[in-house]
Amino acid sequence: MVDLKKYKGPLLSILIIFIVLAVMITIGFTIGILSNDPDGLERALIDAQGEEWVEGLSSPWEPIFGWIDNDYIVALIGISLTVIFIVAFFALISFLAKQKRASE
């Protein structure tokens, strides 16, 4: 039988990594939806399926960032949020590692 207590730290780290990556990917994709100009994938889908499918797309960020008309500002906000999540993630890992060393 496997002792899961022994693997609690690595499993927690892996879970945190997956959560942070999921949040970062979600932010990256949804910030792109706010742009009025289609990206490469949207352009390929528009060419294949027509313009109508774009009308049904919505972003959970629309109520927060919908007032921004400039694509450069939206990109800077997306990059900033991604950097904040990365820094917070590594700060959390560092904090947990220090706590683990202090308890040993």
- Asked if pLDDT for residue 89 goes beyond 80, the answer is yes
Cα–Cα distance measured from residue 45 to residue 3, given in angstroms and rounded to the nearest whole number = 49
Q: Give tens-digit pLDDT for 10-62.
A: 778 888 888 888 887 777 766 666 666 766 777 787 788 777 766 766 666 66
Choose among 33, 27, 42, 36: nearest CA to 78.
27
- Asked if pLDDT for residue 8 goes beyond 70, the answer is yes
Provide the CB-side half-sphere exposure for 101 (13 A, CA): 6
